[in-house]
Amino acid sequence: MNTNILKTLAVVCTTVLFVSCDKDYNTIGGDIIGGENFDFTPGEEFGIKVYHQKTGAVQTNNLAINQLGAYNHPVFGEAKSNFVTQLTLAKSAPTFGENVVVDSVVVTIPYFSKATTDTDGKKTYELSNINGSGTIDLSVFRSNYELNDFDPNNDLTTNAKYFSDQDPTFDSYKSGVTVNVNPAMGDARLNDKNYDPSKPYYPNENKSFKPSAKEIVKYKVVSTKNTSNPSYYVMEHNIDKTQVEERLAPALRMRLNEKYFEDNILKTTAANLKDNTAFKKYFKGLYFQVQNIASGNGSTMGLDFKKGNITIYYKEDKIVTKVVKDPLNPGSGGVVVPEGNDRPMKSLTLNMTGNTVNLFNHTNSSQYENALLLSDPLNDFEDDNLYIKGQNGSLGFIELFTDPMKLQELKDKSPLLNEASLTFTVNESIMTSTVPAIQRLYLYDAEAQKVLVDYSYDITTNASDTKKNRYIFGGILEEIKDDAGNVVKKVYKFRITEFVNRILKGDQDNVRLGIMVTENINDVTTNDLKTVINRNKFNDGGTDEVKKVQSSSTYNPLGTVLYGSNGDNRVKFIINYTTKN
């Protein structure tokens, strides 16, 4: 068998063994290898340096998940997240009949939700990726800013990049309803409907929007003939609430201005609807903009807009005729005469599968801003608290083995590592019980912008929650309890045994590590920072650049505060190892 494969299996098996016996380190050495030949060192702490750094604007085009909303975080301040998306035709070159009239225009974007079914078959839903319990003032506009696939300033050879701080540009290119503006709305937004509590499909969807966990019920639309005029009739369409046509999981649903889409989509020239290339050139997209927090702490939503769409429901004339005998020419086949007009209901779907950009507008709290200002990127290396925040927030850095002599002493022992770990403790004097907790953090090689070897080796999965995959590698929020069952602290623990083992063997440079918020541990793609981070290094006295952040951190709006370099709750770098006598 290949030697590398054997080594890999040995590391994985050893890691699994010690994770399963996490509380029994002190008993392992003697039982397995015999105390007369080996010495087991349980939990030796080694020196490290930790500090945080503001990321600044981040690349946010075509993220897997996008944030929409406004949320006032108790620690970090207010964050608004706007969103721009191109629209695509579900079917190219659609055709329409005569006298087209739009009946309704509905935006639908599913929430992330989990269903529970009771004994009667009724479903209730629990939403995830929602933060805040208040309401927001939410607008939808037409975007007139063209999103390119490739960078026009680089000979169209590289993909286009858009950044989180470009909201002023998109705001200047928006447009909406220009005639008969709804005075209750006070602006030209496309979602200009007044709230109607008699229509359960639609909550308060503009001035006071709030995500709802209610199931969406679509009732059957029935058609009846209006025969008040025997020589001419039309079809009337009514909702029959006794007939349920479909039940859908909770989704963001809003109604848009019918006349606007009738004039600009259904009645535009056929050339604009020829295919998606032409359509995206003509109708460049939609701009979802949060005006302000309407009540409470607001709400922000993590959404997969690629699963969203706009459905335009419309009616068109269909000439209904019949053949009657011609009294003047009885021997003929008859003549065709109009009987009336039928008005069938049809629909046109526009998908949200084009290019997208997430746009962030943050107003940092004075506490957070001061913490960032006090962290000198070139001189003051250590921070008493680490402020770690997603989106265009901040990340932490960790430098291991800051005492070169102690590192060399360990190397000279040729140790067999049982476990090497980094443990971060939540500062609960700042992150109180009323502050939303970050469920997971991500540790990585900040210099090479890549995963650690321990991440790669860990193939563990969690069937009920994929965000908890790779749980041996760690980073999941844990509660540490005393003998009475009381929670004494909350921590994030990472196992980096193989990474440290390779440093000791000379197979791995002692690189700077990064720690950041993650929304999805399985997504390790990276996005560019608009401004490169430069920090002096303890290890070699030089300066290196951090150019990217994990994409999953970009679409998580929350943050946490960890203890830093000092005190009993400081970040702990612990190695359990065995050496020969």
Q: What residue spans define the domains of the chain? A: 48-57+365-574, 77-360
How many other β-carbons are positioned within 10 Å of the β-carbon of residue 345?
14
CA pair distance 112, 128, nearest whole angstrom:
5
Q: What is the mean pLDDT of residues 511-521?
A: 94
Which amino acid, residue 233? Y
* Of 205 and 35, more confident: 205
**Range from 332-336, 374-378, 516-520 carrying the lowest mean pLDDT:** 374-378
pLDDT over threshold 70, residue 579: yes
CA pair distance 381, 387, nearest whole angstrom:
14
Is the distance from CB of 313 to CB of 105 less than 8 angstroms? Answer: yes
Q: What is the mean pLDDT of residues 169-185?
A: 84
Integer-rounded Cα radius of gyration of the chain? 31
Kindly state the DSSP code that residue 150 receives in the 8-state scheme.
B
How many other β-carbons are positioned within 10 Å of the β-carbon of residue 440?
20
Q: What is this structure's pTM?
A: 0.85
| Band (43; pLDDT cuts 50, 70, 90) | confident
How many other β-carbons are positioned within 10 Å of the β-carbon of residue 467?
17
Most confident of 265-279, 315-329, 539-553: 265-279
Is the distance from CB of 349 to CB of 311 less than 8 angstroms? Answer: yes
| Band (461; pLDDT cuts 50, 70, 90) | very high
Whole-angstrom distance between the N-terminal and C-terminal Cα of the chain? 31
Closest by alpha carbon to 269, among 95, 470, 515? 95
**CA distance to 143, 167, 176, 206, 291, per residue, from 173 (Å):** 6, 10, 10, 20, 16
Is the distance from CB of 394 to CB of 529 less than 8 angstroms? Answer: no
